[in-house]
Amino acid sequence: MFNFSDKQTVNLTEPVGSLNRFTQLNNTKMLLNVALVVGTFLFMEGVAWFTHKYVMHGFLWSWHNDHHNHHNGFFERNDLFAVVFSAVAISLIVAGIEVEPLSFLTWVGVGVSLYGLFYFVFHDVIVHQRVKLKHRFKDKYMQRIIRAHYIHHKVHTKEGAEAFGFLYAPKKFDRTVRSGQTVIKA
């Protein structure tokens, strides 16, 4: 208990009604923000699939083709897609910070950025090893998405590729290994 004057005493162990409502509103807002980040992250896999299939292997093949074919140097024209997605994420975050009614866009931008980080680690570090790290995955899911990406890269032209996702691959990309007469799923 604190005694601020002869007439006023505050007990800090008892919740104050308006403080409880404030905490509930903050918790609700925090949960909505987390849901926006997670929802945007999941939605981005669909955006990435669509962009990869219809834009990268479509009218912007001129940016993407060096990614499917050997080239000199560390950077690729394909890296321009990362610049575009980064600009979108930054714009969403700034708009959400600067325009109060659009504050939810900050969290959408965080979701896009988080997807971009996962994409970079999976695609550029793990699969294409643009950053050299030793790794070996025994996890079936990781093996499946890496295998799907390698199957995608067997095609060096605009048409004919499959497996356009980045962080998801259907089970059809699981490897089947034959051992004698027994079929074992790897």
d(CA 76, CA 74) in angstroms, rounded, equals: 7
Q: What is the reported pLDDT for 11? A: 58
Secondary structure letter of residue 179 according to DSSP:
E
Whole-model pTM: value is: 0.76
Span 48-53, average pLDDT: 92
Count CB-CB contacts under 10 A for residue 123.
18
Dist. CA 106–CA 83, nearest whole Å? 18
Q: What percent of the chain shows pLDDT beyond 90?
A: 37
Q: What is the pLDDT of residue 181?
A: 38
The first and second tokens of residue 65, run together, are: 């083709």
d(CA 6, CA 36) in angstroms, rounded, equals 49
Q: Closest Cα to residue 154, out of 139, 170, 173?
A: 173
Specify the higher pLDDT residue, 69 or 14. Answer: 69
* pLDDT of 126 over the 80 cut: yes
Instruction: Tell me the domain boundaries of the chain.
Output: 41-185
Read off the pLDDT of each residue in 76-102 and give the average, rounded to a whole number: 95
Bigger pLDDT: 165 or 107?
107
pLDDT-derived band at 180 (thresholds 50, 70, 90) equals very low
Task: Convert the pLDDT of each residue in 132-168 to its tens digit.
Answer: 877 777 888 888 888 888 888 887 877 877 788 888 8
Tokens of 64: 């993407």
When pLDDT is averaged across residues 46-55 and rounded to a whole number, the result is 93
> In angstroms, rounded to a whole number, what is the distance separating the alpha carbons of residues 184 and 150?
21
How far, in Å, are 4, 25, 99, 174 from residue 141 at the CA level? 61, 38, 41, 8
- Report the amino acid identity of residue 2: F
Are the CB atoms for 78 and 85 separated by under 8 Å? Answer: no
DSSP state of 77: G
